[in-house]
Structure 1
Amino acid sequence: MQYGAFDSEFLKRLERLSLNMEKLMASGSGGLRKSKAKGSSVEFSDYREYAYGDDLRRVDWNAYGRSGRLFVKLFMEEREAMVNIFLDCSRSMDFGEPKKSLAEVQLAGAIAFLALNNMDRLCINLMQNGSLRSSGIFGGRGQFEGCAAFLDNIEFKGIADMEKAIKQKKFGGRGLSLIISDFFTQDKPEDFLKYLLYHKQDIVLLHILSAEELNPKLQGQIRLKDSETDGMLDVDLTPSVIDNYERTLNSFISALKESSKKYGGAYVNISSADSLEKVLFEDMIAAQIVK
C-alpha cells in the first residue's frame, strides 16, 4: 500500500479486531450481522455472486450449471452488512506533518480489512469538488489487495462539498457509513447526516486534524494561505488571537460531536500525528466502533 504498507505482523493484530456491528447497528432490526456460529444448520436466506476469497464450500454448483456464474449461499444468521467508507479527497486533507491524507488512507485501509475479513460487503467512496467516485463492491478477504490498489490512486485536490457528494450515493438498504474527513466544508453536517439517516445508515464520523491545527506553534505577524481556495490572510498571532482560535476549534469539535450524537452516530477526533495502532486499538475501541 502506497500510504504505509501493512506488514504481516500488523495484519495479524488486525485479525483480532472487528467492526462492532452489534453496537453500531443496535437501534435497527436484527439479522444484518452474521453470528459467529458457522455451518449449514442455520436457515437459508439468499445468494450473492461469488467474490475472490469466498469459501468454495458455499458455492451453489447447481446455480452455476444453470447460469454459468458462481453464486454463494447466504444463511439467515450470516447476512452481510453493507459498509460504505466516504473519504474526503479535498486539498485541505493533503496538509500537515504527517499529512492528514496519509492518516486517512491508512485508516480507511484498516477499516476495509476489518470489513472484508468479516465477510461484509464494502464500497469506498471518494468525495471531491462535490462529486462522488465509488469503487465496485468488494467482498471477502481475498479482495483486500484490490481495495488497497484503489486507495493507492487517490489525488487530493479541489474543495470539499460533502453534502452534494454524499447525496449522490444510492443505498440499497440499511448499512454502516463511515466518513473520514477534517470536515472543513461550507455545508452543515446536519444536511448530509439527515440524508444518511433517511437511508437507514448507521453513522461514524472519523475527524482527522493535523498536529498544527490542533496545537498551532505559529506566532507573530504571518500570512496564511487557504489550502483549498489559495486565499491569503495576513494575521498578527498574538496570545489573545491564539486563545480565540483554540476556543473556536473546541467549539467546532464539540458541535460536530453533538451532531453525530443527535443522529445516533459515533465520533472520534484523531490527530494525523497519532499512530494507526493508537487510533485503532485505543481510540476506536474506546468509542466502541471496533472491538
Structure 2
Amino acid sequence: MKENIFDKDFFTKLNKINMALNFRLSNGTQGGRKSKAKGVSVEFSDFREYAPGDDFRRIDWNAYGRLDKLFVKVFMEEREGVFNFFLDKSKSMDQGDDNKGEMALKIMAALGYITINNLDRIIVSGLEDGNIIDLGSGTGKRTFQKLLRDLNNIEFNGATNLGESIRKRKITGRGVSIVVSDFLNNGGLENLEEGLKYLAFKKQQIILVQVLSKEDMEPTIDEEVTLIDSETREEVKMTLNYKVIEEYKKALKTYNNNLKNMAKKYGAKIVFVRSDEALEKVILDKFTRNNIVV
C-alpha cells in the first residue's frame, strides 16, 4: 500500500464499531464475545444450586435468606471470535487505474483493525495458484502492526484457483471467513463453490467481498485491442464497439447474479466494491448496511 490507510478521524470511527457475529461461541480463549459457556464475566446468566468446590464469592446470600438454600450466580463467559481472512493474490487483482489490489489490501487492513480492536483473533491467508499462503495470525496491537507490514509487501502474481486454495486452510471451530477477491476465477463459479462448501461444512459465517475496477465494469471503446489474460498471458485480438461492450456488460451482470445466488445458497453475505470508491464509504456504509460491522 502506497498511502496511509487511516487518518485520525477514520481511526476514531473504527474504534466505535465491531464485527457482527450471528452465532454464540462455545470454544476459544477468553475475549470480548459472549459464548454459550458459563463463566465469571460481568454479564449475569442464571442461578444454580451450590455444589462443593464452588466459589463462595458467587453465592447469592439474598436467595439464601429467602429460601434457606445456597445458590450461586452463573455468568456468561466471554470468548474471542475467530476471523479467517482470505486475500486473492492473483495477477488479475493488480489491475485498474484505481488498483483493485490496493483496495483489497485497504479493506483487509480496516476489517483486521476492527477485529483486533474488539479482542478477536485473526488468521490471514493469501490465495495464489491453488495454494494457501500464511500471512500471520494472532490478537492485539502487535498483530495489527505486523499485518500492516505484511500487507504492504504483498505482490499479486499467478493464477486464481480460489476453491482449491481455501480448502487447504485447516479450520477448527466456528468462526467468520471473509474472502476478498474479484472472483474472476479460473474454473468459474464451480471452482469457487467448492471453497464455499468447505467453509459452510466448517460452520463458518461467510462474507464475500468482490472488488472490481472501473475498467472491469465500464470498458472503453477502441477500434482494435489485444486482450491479454493477466494470469495465463493468453492473447485475444478483437474489435471493441458498442455491441461488444453491451454484451460484455450483460455477461458480467449475469455472472455477478449467479455469484450472488451462490452466496445465498451457502448463507453467505456478499458486498460489491468498486476500486475507485472511498474506503470510508465502503466500511461505514456498505458493510454496515449488510450488517457485517455494527
What CA distance in whole angstroms lies between the structure 2 residues aligned with 1:235 and 1:4? 40
What CA distance in whole angstroms lies between the structure 1 residues aligned with 2:279 and 2:143? 21
- Deviation readout 1:161-183 (Å, 9 max, x if unpaired): 11111111001211000000001
Give TM-score scaled by structure 1 length: 0.82
What CA distance in whole angstroms lies between the structure 1 residues aligned with 2:226 and 2:137? 45
Instruction: In structure 1, give the amino acid aligned to 2:273.
Output: I
What CA distance in whole angstroms lies between the structure 2 residues aligned with 1:2 and 1:134? 22
- Deviation readout 1:136-172 (Å, 9 max, x if unpaired): 3221244311111121121111101111111110012
Give the match for residue 111 of structure 1.
111
**Change over 3 Å in CA distance of 1:148–1:209 after alignment to 2:** same
Question: How is 1:1-291 mapped onto 2 (pairs within 5 angstroms)?
Answer: 2-21=2-21, 25-26=22-23, 29=24, 34-35=33-34, 40-41=41-42, 76-187=76-187, 188=190, 189-291=192-294
Question: In the TM superposition, what is the alpha-carbon distance from 1:219 to its structure 2 partner?
Answer: 2.8
Give the match for residue 69 of structure 2.
none
What CA distance in whole angstroms lies between the structure 1 residues aligned with 2:166 and 2:262? 17
Give TM-score scaled by structure 2 length: 0.81
**Change over 3 Å in CA distance of 1:282–1:41 after alignment to 2:** closer
Partner SS state of residue 227, structure 1? coil
What CA distance in whole angstroms lies between the structure 1 residues aligned with 2:41 and 2:77? 10
Q: How many residues align?
A: 254
Whose strand fraction is larger, Structure 1's or Structure 2's? 2
**Change over 3 Å in CA distance of 1:255–1:273 after alignment to 2:** same
Partner SS state of residue 122, structure 1? strand
Question: In the TM superposition, what is the alpha-carbon distance from 1:216 to its structure 2 partner?
Answer: 1.2
Partner SS state of residue 126, structure 2? strand
Percent identity over the alignment? 33
What CA distance in whole angstroms lies between the structure 1 residues aligned with 2:2 and 2:172? 31
**Change over 3 Å in CA distance of 1:136–1:239 after alignment to 2:** closer
Check whether the contact 1:4–1:106 (CA below 8 A) recurs between aligned residues.
Answer: no
Instruction: In structure 1, give the amino acid aligned to 2:211.
Output: I
**Change over 3 Å in CA distance of 1:238–1:136 after alignment to 2:** closer
Note the residue ranges of structure 2 that are not aligned, 5 or more in a row: 35-39, 45-74
Q: Indicate the structure (1 or 2) with the bigger Cα radius of gyration.
A: 2
**Change over 3 Å in CA distance of 1:3–1:180 after alignment to 2:** farther
What CA distance in whole angstroms lies between the structure 1 residues aligned with 2:149 and 2:102? 15
Check whether the contact 1:31–1:76 (CA below 8 A) recurs between aligned residues.
Answer: no
**Change over 3 Å in CA distance of 1:176–1:8 after alignment to 2:** same
Instruction: In structure 2, give the amino acid aligned to 1:88.
Output: D
Check whether the contact 1:84–1:177 (CA below 8 A) recurs between aligned residues.
Answer: yes
Note the residue ranges of structure 1 that are not aligned, 5 or more in a row: 44-74
